[in-house]
Amino acid sequence: MRGSVRSSAAWQTERMSQQPSAYRGYRFPPEIIAHAVWAYHRFGLSFRDVEDLLAERGITVAYETIRQWCLTFGLDYARRLRRSRGRMGDTWYLDAVFVEIRGRQQ
């Protein structure tokens, strides 16, 4: 039983050693870079907003660094987000709308 359960530290160390070569040479771990780029592209935040989000988690990164990360890694993240969202059709169907005006349903 003891051998089958891995500690979280061992799992993180193993994960970090398998980091893609694209992240090699950066000061921050790939998870932080990925989270910053993902937040910027997923929610349409500004670089300063992403900087504030990371600062709330105790990570001090300049917005200019986040801008550089988004230029370097952003295209891949944006493509994956677009693919996962699916295609939007031209036609939307709406069955019924109920509106209350002055307390009466119209």
Note the pTM of the prediction, 2 decimals: 0.58
Q: Which of 36, 15, 16 is nearest to 24 (CA)?
A: 16
Q: What is the DSSP letter of 75?
A: H
For 64, the token pair is 């200019």
Q: Which residue is it, tokens 């300049």?
A: 62
Averages of pLDDT over each 10 residues, the chain, 106 residues: 44 47 86 92 92 96 95 84 68 74 82
Q: Which two tokens stand for residue 70?
A: 């988004």
Tokens of 53: 């989000």
CA angle 16, 17, 22 (to 5 degrees): 80
